[in-house]
Amino acid sequence: MIKVGDDLPAVTLTRVTTEGSEPVPAAELFAGKRVVLFAVPGAFTPTCSKAHLPGYVVQADAFFDKGIDMIACLSVNDAAVMAAWQRDQNADRITMLADGGAAFTRAIGMAQDTGDFGGVRSKRYAMLVEDGIVRALNLEAPKEFKVSDAQTLLALV
């Protein structure tokens, strides 16, 4: 599993854009930037939609004021689902990343098989990434939401 001090893997993600979506290598996406990256088990799911993503939407200015260049939300969903969730949550300041085949999620050791919930999904976590290197990592225990929320990560920035 990825840990503080590790480089993010050389995997391509799909970034949701106003024009649709585009593949982008993680190395390019995170190069030269301070990024808050948080992952959810699934778009439109209860905790993800009621607490996790909304917390980052509300705290976006506070993160940007502290020098964060990008706030990114990752899920093992396709880009169309991530775009719809972004619209539904008024999350236009959050970069939505689709990891449809779970390549990134598997490469960092955060994949979990959720069975009938949706198959392979990401564990819930948040990390601070600087120039592609993990500087802080908060991984949630199963079925918990205590350390990957916006307020907790804001305190680490």
- Average pLDDT for 13-32: 95
- Average pLDDT for 15-23: 94
Respond yes or no: is residue 48 known to be catalytic: yes
Partner residues linked to 14 by β-bridges: 23, 98
Is the pLDDT at 100 greater than 80? The verdict is: yes
Q: What is the pLDDT of residue 122?
A: 93
Of all residues in the chain, the percent with pLDDT exceeding 90 is 87
Lowest average pLDDT, out of 65-79, 101-115, 121-135, goes to 101-115
Burial of 115 from C-beta contacts in 10 A (0-12 / 13-18 / 19+): exposed
What confidence tier does 12 reach under pLDDT thresholds 50, 70, 90? very high
Residue 1 domain-assigned (yes or no): no
Q: Where in the chain does DSSP place strands (E)?
A: 12-17, 20-25, 34-40, 70-75, 95-98, 111-113, 120-122, 125-130, 133-139
Are 74 and 53 in contact, with CB atoms under 8 Å apart? Answer: no
Residue 4 domain-assigned (yes or no): no
Going across the sheet that includes 125-130, the strands are: 20-25, 12-17, 95-98, 70-75, 34-40, 125-130, 133-139
Is the pLDDT at 2 greater than 90? The verdict is: yes
Domain that residue 150 falls in:
12-154
Tally of domains within the chain: 1
Residue 78 domain-assigned (yes or no): yes
Are 30 and 132 in contact, with CB atoms under 8 Å apart? Answer: yes
Tokens of 20: 């649709």
Give the separation between CA 57 and CA 60, rounded to whole angstroms.
5
Which CATH number do you get for residue 127? 3.40.30.10
pLDDT digits (tens, 9 = 90+) for 47-59: 988 999 999 999 9
- Average pLDDT for 118-131: 92
| Sequential DSSP letters for 128-148 | EEETTEEEEEEEPPTT--SSS
Selecting among 36, 48, 82, 108, the annotated active-site residue is 48
